[in-house]
Amino acid sequence: MTLLGQFALWIGFITALWGFAIPFLSRWQQRPELAATSIRATYALCAAMIVASLALWKGLISHDFNIEYVAAYTSRNLPDSYVITAFWAGQKGSLLFWALVLSIFGAVAQVVTSQRHKDLMPYVAGVTNGAASFFIATMLFGHSSPFERLAFTPPDGNGLNPQLQNPGMVIHPPMLYLGYISITIPFAFAIAAMMARKLDAGWIHAMRKWTIMSWLFLSVGITLGMWWAYVELGWGGYWAWDPVENASLLPWLTMTAFLHSVMIQEKRGMLKRWNMSLVIGTFLLSIFGTFITRSGVIASVHSFAQSSVGYFFLAFLLTTAVSAFALLYYRWPQLEPETKLESLASREAAFLFNNLVLVGIAFSVLWGTLFPILSEAVRGIKITVGPPFFNRVNIPLGLLLLALTGIGPLIAWRKTSTANLRRQFLWPTTAGLVAAVALLAAGFRGFYVLMSWVLAAFVAGTVLQEFYRGIRARMRMYQESPLMALARLVNRNRRRYGGYLVHVGILVYFVAFAGMAFKVTREVTLAPGQSVEIKSPFGNTYSFTHLGVSQYQALNRIVSAASLDVRKNGAKFAVIKSEKRQHIDSFGNKTFEPSTEVGIESGLREDVYVVYAGSIAGTEQSNFAISINPLVWWVWAGGVILVVGGLLAMWPGGRTSAPVARRDIQSGFEARLVGSEAE
């Protein structure tokens, strides 16, 4: 199977090179008939990558430990689900996974894109094939082929890192990869539009859903990564500003900016150059993130071992940046805006400021991530840039962004009158002020926490007002019931109301993030039968009684499970079990260092988070790190709301179909809801 896999890689590489070069050569040689072969090459590449991937999966499932990758990341007693997901557990496999998904996305883009954009498609194929050829070349020439064989066959493999043996790690990396990889498609459309000189709104329409999809995948990937860190790493938090976490946030921020500014291009024909720059920048940042992960240039707990692969990524990053921005420079005159911004009090201006803050946060994250390198270069002194730095720099910008999330939808396109502004801001501002008074009366004093919750109330007021006015308008016009009016309102304009739902997800995130300022952590030593009491930020008193430590063998590990009987305000609450897991191979030999499994009892208001730190002198008397983490449940809820909103926004149909839009305009729906008020 390794021969077949390696052969498929070579076939894929040659096909991808052809598919990459031919659209550009055919343009140069004035032979448009050649360009179509690029599209066929995309399908052939997809087939080759599927064959290569199946070959690797076959090696993993059949425990062919003669394959170096299989021996490095699996063992005979590794649960089946992790054997399958070991495909992307290591660098070599994840490169193949990247090439596989990219080739599938490239082929799907060719199939689903409307014939209206057929002039763009050879170039889209060229770009996706070019990116795929890079990843395959890295495998073939960077000593990173997952099909390399060992000189001998070990009786068992090393097994999978215990921290990766978690359901979160089954889904989180592929989701993040899907996000990173699917960014290539909007980038490909942007390059195609510039190559084909089709710089009207056509390319935007062709790639809009791809952009939302990439953004969704990244959002899901980032949230799952936070969840994995929370339930697996045991430090009681979910975001540590690690360089690799930052790398995933960077393209998410610029893509969020693009999703807003592209609306200005669609509605007013402005910001064409800015949007093109954002798409290019987002793609480059996705590659930059991968470069950080793989090069070892910045210390990170996530980094793969340093290898020559980093140089491949750096070369690709620089080549792509120079080529894409050079092309943008040549097309600059054709990207003239059709209209100009007229007022500071306009939706366009609010979106511009929103873009500014989003890109500003992206810059500050990038700046902080790279600042240790800069400092060492300038001063010759190594420094650490950790969470305190990022919090200090980014929290003010984040609050500004939250404020703009509420302000943007309240302002009309083009310009807004003072009377309209007063009418639009009245209730959301009241909501914010009421929240401020209530929080101050409740004794909250932390500035950032207060601001987060007050602004969240303001944004919630905005969203509620938008829904309320839309529903009320429909009820008046069509005599619909409130529920029917809500359903039809959302269905008619999924993008707009899906967007509002995303805003709700974001404000829920902010509320939950601020809650962690009140986290309580305590280390305790308990012998079986001993108890300790901890008071929570919500005023609950939890008592923890150590029940004992039991040791047993399960699957591929020896488990030491410590149980605590937890009472809340004197009433029975839960029995929380935290474990130490010593993984073993199929011969019973201990493999990795013992890892920790956290015990969590999650609630709407607070999580009780227990970590079994270890035993005192080999007895059941044990140390525990116990945390009460407020509002963490809402982080995951915010993620779900965000995803539902995103799905709603990208769901096919709704207002985008021409007949529906015509009907709405004829019935006055457009004029009443959009014309005079904010959309």
Partner 1 sequence: MMLNRRSFLGGSFGALVVFQQPAPVPEAPQAPESDELRDPQSAGLSRLPVSPLDNDPVIVDVEHKLKCTCGCNLDIFTCRTTDFTCTYSPALHQEILGLYKEGKTPEQIIAAFVEKYGEQTLMAPEPQGFNLAGYLVPGLLVLLAGGILSVVLLRRHRMAQLAGAAATAPASTTPAVSSEEMERLKRALSEVAD
> In the window 215-234, what residues touch partner 1 (CB under 8 A)?
233-234
Would you call 61 helix, strand, or coil by DSSP? helix
Q: Measured between alpha carbons, how far is residue 100 from residues 61, 204, 530 in Å?
A: 18, 26, 55
The residues, ordered by sequence, that sit 6+ positions from 588 with a Cβ below 8 Å of its Cβ are none
Rounded Cα distance between 267 and 413, Å, is: 9
Rounded Cα distance between 122 and 465, Å, is: 46
184, amino acid identity: T
Please tell me whether residue 420 binds partner 1 under the rule CB under 8 A.
no
Q: Among residues 619, 656, 657, 667, which is the contact residue for partner 1, using CB under 8 A? A: 619
Q: Among residues 80, 152, 340, 419, which is the contact residue for partner 1, using CB under 8 A? A: 340
Would you call 653 helix, strand, or coil by DSSP? coil
Rounded Cα distance between 185 and 405, Å, is: 27
Cβ pair 49, 99 in contact under 8 A: yes
Q: Which of residues 56 and 449 has its CB atom nearest to partner 1 in the complex?
A: 449
Q: Which of residues 165 and 622 has its CB atom nearest to partner 1 in the complex?
A: 622
Which span sits near partner 1 by CB under 8 A: 33-41, 125-133, 287-295, 380-388? Answer: 380-388
Please tell me whether residue 421 binds partner 1 under the rule CB under 8 A.
no
Please tell me whether residue 558 binds partner 1 under the rule CB under 8 A.
yes
If you search the block for the tokens 């730095």, which residue do you land on?
Answer: 389
Please tell me whether residue 118 binds partner 1 under the rule CB under 8 A.
no
Please tell me whether residue 305 binds partner 1 under the rule CB under 8 A.
no
Q: Among residues 32, 155, 396, 653, which is the contact residue for partner 1, using CB under 8 A? A: 396
Q: Tell which phi-psi region holds residue 614, choosing left (phi > 0), alpha (psi between -120 and 50) or beta.
A: left
Write out the binding residues for partner 1, residues 231-250 only, by CB under 8 A: 233-235, 240, 242
Please tell me whether residue 7 binds partner 1 under the rule CB under 8 A.
no
Q: Which of residues 443 and 588 has its CB atom nearest to partner 1 in the complex?
A: 588
Would you call 666 helix, strand, or coil by DSSP? helix
Q: Among residues 181, 188, 349, 471, which is the contact residue for partner 1, using CB under 8 A? A: 349
Q: Which of residues 121 and 359 has its CB atom nearest to partner 1 in the complex?
A: 359
Q: Among residues 522, 605, 655, 672, which is the contact residue for partner 1, using CB under 8 A? A: 522
- The pair of structure tokens assigned to 172 is 């989180």
What secondary structure does DSSP assign to 505-555, as a single string?
HHHHHHHHHHHGGG-EEEEEEE-TT-EEEEE-TTS-EEEEEEEEEEEEEET
**What binding mask, one character per residue, do residues 527-556 give for partner 1 by CB under 8 A, x or -?**
xxx---------------xxxxx-x-----
Q: Which of residues 37 and 623 has its CB atom nearest to partner 1 in the complex?
A: 623
Rounded Cα distance between 497 and 646, Å, is: 10
- The pair of structure tokens assigned to 386 is 């950790």
If you search the block for the tokens 């499970």, which residue do you land on?
Answer: 561
Please tell me whether residue 489 binds partner 1 under the rule CB under 8 A.
no
Q: Among residues 615, 633, 660, 674, which is the contact residue for partner 1, using CB under 8 A? A: 615
Write out the binding residues for partner 1, residues 254-273 only, by CB under 8 A: 270-271, 273
Which span sits near partner 1 by CB under 8 A: 191-199, 422-430, 466-474, 517-525? Answer: 517-525
Please tell me whether residue 588 binds partner 1 under the rule CB under 8 A.
no
Write out the binding residues for partner 1, residues 320-339 only, by CB under 8 A: 336-337
User: Considering the complex, what minimum distance in angstroms separates the CB of residue 285 from partner 1?
Assistant: 16
**What binding mask, one character per residue, do residues 443-462 give for partner 1 by CB under 8 A, x or -?**
--------------------
Please tell me whether residue 572 binds partner 1 under the rule CB under 8 A.
yes
The residues, ordered by sequence, that sit 6+ positions from 508 with a Cβ below 8 Å of its Cβ are 456, 634, 637, 638, 641
